[in-house]
Amino acid sequence: MFEMFKRLPDTYQGVIYILLGVTAILYALGIIEKGIDTIIILFAICMVVLGCIKIGLYHRTINALSRITKKSKE
């Protein structure tokens, strides 16, 4: 694998080194962990919402709310 890296042009090697260095700096400063935590939280919220939609909880809630509003209007 390192041989493949050595065969790359110097420009590509330099860009890869810069990206790795920036990633290491962001990791050391704790910025990457915050970003990953935020992504995981958003993913978890999406999974909960999709699960509720999949089991029909959304439609059940809408139906229950519409029945409540009909009763309150009477």
For 8-38, the pLDDT digits (tens) are 889 989 999 999 999 889 888 888 788 888 8
The answer on pLDDT for 74 being more than 70 is: no
Alpha-carbon distance 2 to 22, whole Å? 20
Q: What is the mean pLDDT of the chain?
A: 86
Residue 33 lies in a domain: yes
Residue 57 lies in a domain: yes
Residue 37 lies in a domain: yes
**Number of domains comprising the chain:** 1
Domain with 53 in it: 8-73
Residue 1 lies in a domain: no
Q: Which residues of 13-44 are buried (b: 16+ CB within 10 A; e: fewer)?
A: eeeeeeeeeeeeeeeeeeeeeeeeeeeeeeee
- If one compares 55 and 74, the residue with the highest pLDDT of the two is 55
The answer on pLDDT for 44 being more than 90 is: yes
pTM score, whole prediction: 0.51
Residue 3 lies in a domain: no
Residue 2 lies in a domain: no
